[in-house]
């Protein structure tokens, strides 16, 4: 998934920032993985004394042996991928104008934002889970968390220089490498299958059946979303297939099915994916209308479809008495599950917005969040990685020139 996100984002931004985007995706794994090992897993899934419906406790600096070793390490490994993915989503919203050292600190601290929603929805005693909220593969805990945090970050960073200004150079919003972005899409597409199928946490006791169902629903959703994006582009772009619309449509559909991938019917998956595709494609226009600069489209791809994913779970979820799952509006005629899904969406969104504001404000007031105008013009590849001979030691001199 990290490879896919890295290629996708580096292809979506301008060429002078593409190396920096890939390095930031490495930072997500390094610093985000370190934080999840130190305290993230503990706050999400710890079961020691002090654990409650709102936060976990125990298993700090994860280690295990004996009969629980396999379960603990496999769960840590899988959940660490979710945690770092939630941070990677944000990197697209911060692209082209955030300092690398500031982003590294953020990728470490952002684990805190992921932990509590993961506990609320996925831990055995999580309060939202006990209310009946369903999030099969991270629609809320990963994509909504990343999307809302990304929205907060891009608002605090403000638009890229020249964006939304009179006489704006439209080329600043062009893709640096469509080929790279499409390769990233392919990697994410198949990586999504691993996450959605792996969310069953096993193949025994009939779990393989749910995993197989999740695979089909994931593919069907992307088929519905991709087809919708192509048709939308064909009829609105003078019979051309817009690469950005295609990417956003497919990814938006994958996000949309993540909430109930193991509990939907094939036709429902296609419908959910098609609606998610439209939401992702038109979400970009909505953000631009209110002058919010999201370089990669992370908010429109992840936040908006994630909200739809939670709504879709409340509508289409199949009931299961053995699992104490009440079912959605279509199956039962009851709006209870839909109400709980909406509650989870609102609570998690508020939590992410507040915590992201606090963390980013702290970073901005300590080491600074945004690069200078001159460095933004030069590009992060030159400024942060000395590609072309620029030295960060010259920052002060460049700022004065």
Q: At 327, is the pLDDT very low, low, confident or very high (cuts 50, 70, 90)?
A: confident
Q: How far apart are CA 169 and CA 352, in angstroms?
A: 33
Domains and CATH numbers, the chain: 1-164+177-385 (1.10.3430.10)
Tell me what pLDDT residue 154 has. Answer: 96
Q: What is the pLDDT of residue 27?
A: 96
Choice between 58 and 279, residue whose per-residue pLDDT is larger: 279
Q: Structure pTM?
A: 0.93
Quote the pLDDT of residue 176: 85
DSSP track, 101-145: HHHHHHHHHHHHHHHHHHHHHHSTT-HHHHHT---SSSIIIIIIH
pLDDT over 90 (residue 210): no
The rounded distance, in Å, linking the Cα atoms of 140 and 357 is 19
Distances (CA, A) of 305 to 16, 110, 177, 191, 343: 30, 21, 25, 18, 16
Of 192, 163, 187, 189, nearest to 13 (Cα)? 163
The structure tokens listed for 397 are: 């001199």
> Looking at the predicted structure, is the pLDDT value of residue 301 above 90?
yes
- Please state the rounded mean pLDDT for residues 236-255: 95
**Model confidence at 257: pLDDT above 90:** yes
Q: Identify which has the larger pLDDT, 380 or 202.
A: 380
Handedness of CA 287, 89, 166, 246 (dihedral sign): negative
Say whether pLDDT at 16 is over 50: yes
Residue 163, pLDDT above cutoff 80: yes
Q: What is the pLDDT of residue 216?
A: 95
Predicted confidence band of residue 400 (pLDDT cuts 50, 70, 90) = very low
Give residue 218's pLDDT. Answer: 96
Using alpha carbons, list the distances in angstroms from residue 168 to 160, 164, 165, 171, 294.
Answer: 11, 6, 5, 9, 16
What's the pLDDT score for residue 126?
96
Average pLDDT rounded to a whole number, residues 218-232: 97
Residue 100 burial class via C-beta count within 10 angstroms: exposed 0-12, middle 13-18, buried 19 and up: middle
pLDDT of residue 67: 86
Residue 399: its pLDDT value, please? 46
Confidence of residue 396 (pLDDT cuts 50, 70, 90): low
The residues near 106 (Cβ < 8 Å, ≥ 6 apart) are 87, 90, 359, 360, 363
Mean pLDDT of the chain: 91
Confidence of residue 319 (pLDDT cuts 50, 70, 90): confident
pLDDT of the residue at 102? 97
pLDDT at res. 318: 86
More confident residue, 389 or 399: 389
Whether residue 352 is predicted with pLDDT greater than 90 in this model: the reply is yes
In this prediction, residue 138 has a pLDDT band, given cuts at 50, 70 and 90, of very high
Give the span between the Cα atoms of 289 and 285, in whole angstroms.
Answer: 6
- pLDDT score at 320: 76
Per-residue pLDDT reduced to its tens digit, 27-86: 999 999 999 999 999 999 999 988 999 999 989 999 998 888 988 999 999 999 999 999
What's the pLDDT at 267? Answer: 96
What's the pLDDT score for residue 285? 92
Mean pLDDT of 283-287: 94
């Amino acid at each position: 998934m990290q490879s896919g996100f890295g290629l996708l984002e580096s292809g979506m931004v301008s060429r002078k920032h593409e190396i920096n985007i890939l390095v930031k995706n490495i930072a997500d794994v390094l610093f985000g993985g370190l934080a999840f090992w130190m305290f993230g897993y503990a706050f999400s899934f710890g079961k020691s004394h002090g654990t409650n419906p709102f936060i976990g406790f125990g298993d700090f600096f994860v280690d295990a042996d004996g009969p629980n070793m396999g379960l603990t390490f496999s769960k840590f490994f899988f959940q660490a991928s979710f945690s770092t993915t939630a941070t990677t989503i944000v990197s697209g919203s911060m692209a082209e104008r955030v300092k690398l050292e500031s982003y590294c600190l953020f990728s470490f601290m952002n684990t805190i934002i992921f932990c509590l929603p993961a506990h609320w929805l996925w831990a055995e005693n999580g309060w939202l889970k006990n209310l009946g909220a369903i999030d099969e593969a991270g629609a809320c805990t990963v994509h909504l968390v990343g999307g809302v945090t990304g929205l907060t970050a891009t608002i605090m960073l403000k638009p890229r220089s020249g964006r939304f200004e009179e006489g704006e150079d439209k080329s600043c919003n062009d893709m640096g490498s469509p080929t790279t972005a499409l390769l990233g899409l392919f990697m994410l597409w198949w990586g999504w299958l691993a996450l959605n199928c792996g969310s069953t946490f096993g193949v025994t006791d009939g779990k393989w059946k749910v995993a197989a169902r999740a695979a089909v629903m994931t593919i069907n959703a992307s088929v519905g979303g991709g087809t919708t994006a192509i048709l939308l582009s064909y009829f609105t772009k003078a019979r051309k297939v817009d690469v950005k619309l295609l990417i956003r449509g497919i990814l938006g559909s994958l996000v949309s099915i993540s909430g109930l991938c193991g509990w939907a019917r094939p036709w429902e998956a296609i419908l959910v994916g098609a609606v998610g595709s439209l939401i992702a494609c038109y979400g970009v226009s909505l953000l631009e209308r209110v002058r919010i600069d999201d370089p990669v489209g992370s908010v429109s791809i992840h936040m908006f479809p994630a909200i739809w994913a939670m709504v879709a779970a409340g509508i289409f979820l199949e009931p299961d008495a053995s699992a104490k799952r009440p079912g959605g509006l279509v199956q039962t005629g009851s709006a209870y599950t839909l109400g709980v899904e909406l509650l989870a969406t609102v609570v998690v969104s508020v939590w992410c917005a507040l915590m992201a504001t606090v963390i980013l404000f702290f970073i901005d007031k300590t080491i600074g969040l945004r690069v200078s105008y001159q460095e933004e013009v030069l590009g992060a590849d030159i400024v942060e990685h000395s590609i072309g001979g620029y030295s960060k030691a010259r920052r002060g001199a460049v700022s004065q020139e």
